[in-house]
Amino acid sequence: MSSPASHDPARLLAQWWATYTAVDEDDDMLDTDRRLAVTAPFGQTWPGLAPSRETAINPDHLASEYAQAFLADRPQTRLGLVAAASGAEALAVVGWDGPCNYDNDTAKFSAVLRDWEHRFGARVVAVGFSTLHLSISAPPVDEHEALLVAAEHFAFCPDNIWQGSRPYTLAAYAERITGAHYWDFWWD
């Protein structure tokens, strides 16, 4: 595994976007028209990063509240302590392999998470075998910002859009995350 510091989050997300929006005639999940409809209005063109957001909510306090709610809903959850500067760094330190079906280098995902910590007040609250749960103190608040964040989520974890509890388009997913103080990811 590499180091999170050796990766540029914007470049990673753009590369992943290009991979997941590429038209593949042999794709068994989505035909070409459906694949492009999912990523509308951007299609195959990476829209770039969403802007940073200011927050009046303390990110660590919000993470604590979300962790308590998460534990109340899932009492079988276990606590893990990791010597790391942040939750993003902790994933690389422990060698978490949740997105291994997409990329075996956890440091790449940690780099994106570290960026989200700065831009959106993201905090890692829980991880599972193939899941990641974040609290977000500065979520997108309008349609344009939410579409850009949804594009980042698609690049980071396409299964959230392709195979979630129901398949989404970016627009529908953006509507779901507008104002949401938590983001959940799962990789199939």
Closest alpha carbon to 78 in 66, 70, 87, 89:
70
Domain region containing 150: 4-50+59-186
pTM for the structure as a whole: 0.92
Q: pLDDT tens, 156-188?
A: 999 988 876 566 789 999 999 999 999 999 998
Amino acid identity of residue 102, one-letter, is Y
The winner for highest mean pLDDT among 5-9, 26-30, 97-101 is 5-9
Residue range 21-63, pLDDT digits in tens: 887 666 656 677 777 888 999 999 999 999 998 887 999 999 9
Q: Is 41 helix (H, G, I), strand (E, B) or coil?
A: coil
Helix (H) or strand (E) holding 183: strand 182-186
Total structural domains in the chain? 1
